Amino acid sequence: MRDMAKRLAADGYSVLVPNPYYRSAKAPGVAPGFDFANPADRAKLEVLRAPMTSDAVMHDATAYVAFLDAHATVNTRAKMGVVGYCMGGPMTLRAAAAVPARIGAGASFHGGGLVTDKPDSPHLLVPKIKAQYYFGIAANDDQRQPDAKIKLKEAFHAAELAAKIEVYEGTLHGWCVKDMPTQAGKPIYNEAQAERAWGELLALYKRTLV
């Protein structure tokens, strides 16, 4: 995440990388060697994530925007963008709904839990959002939940907001992150598709954050 932030900053953006687990642990929160296939590690992650309710994430987003706007290097006349990977995907929707007047663009890559059957499903916040969006969906995520992209498209269409939604064929959940572990002996990170995703992020930001 820090490498991504430095790369984005090199394009002229002020970038904030928060520790989403700050209520539970200091950064990086998840220890090196974390194994998603290990039930014990997954249980530890659930403990870290427990305080991150919808209200908490939206409260944090409001504070982060105020923090950035207080810096002289931040152009408060321009809109802000949010980007998230995995669980960060739905967090971008909550942030955009919390501060719609400031957040003008959002991007989610292999986002998890964007559409659920619960009353606090992130996609139900779209009517409160004013941001344009890009969703890059992992192929295996789409196989598990093929209707998610349809419900996202319907939500943004109903809100009359622009949203580009694409499934990245041949990718696994986590394909954008360089230090993801292997899965069944095969790498999850896909450099070519990650670069394509990065290009979509920059195109969205350059188009909307003015």
Q: What single DSSP character describes residue 127?
A: G
Please check whether residue 63 is in contact with residue 87, taking contact to mean a CB–CB distance below 8 angstroms: no
Q: Which ranges in the chain belong to alpha helices (H)?
A: 2-9, 39-49, 54-69, 88-98, 139-144, 148-158, 191-208
Superfamily in which the 2-208 domain is placed by CATH: Alpha/Beta hydrolase fold, catalytic domain (3.40.50.1820)
Residues forming beta bridges with residue 33, ordered by sequence position: none
- Show the tokens assigned to 201: 């992020």
Angle at which helices 88-98 and 54-69 cross, to 10°: 70
User: Residue holding tokens 């622009």?
Assistant: 162
> What are the angstrom distances between the C-alpha of 26 and each of 6, 31, 177, 191?
21, 10, 21, 29
Q: What is the largest CA-CA distance in the chain?
A: 48
- Show the tokens assigned to 193: 């598709």
Q: What single DSSP character describes residue 186?
A: B
Nearest to 109 by CA among 189, 47, 9, 183: 189
Q: What pTM does this model have?
A: 0.94
Residues of the chain with confidence (pLDDT) below 70: none
pLDDT single digits (tens) 90-144:
999 999 999 999 999 999 999 999 999 999 999 999 999 999 999 999 999 999 9
pLDDT of residue 91: 97
Query: What does the domain layout of the chain look like in residue ranges?
Result: 2-208
Q: Which phi and psi (to 5°) does residue 163 adopt?
A: -150, 125
Please check whether residue 109 is in contact with residue 89, taking contact to mean a CB–CB distance below 8 angstroms: yes
pLDDT of residue 178: 93
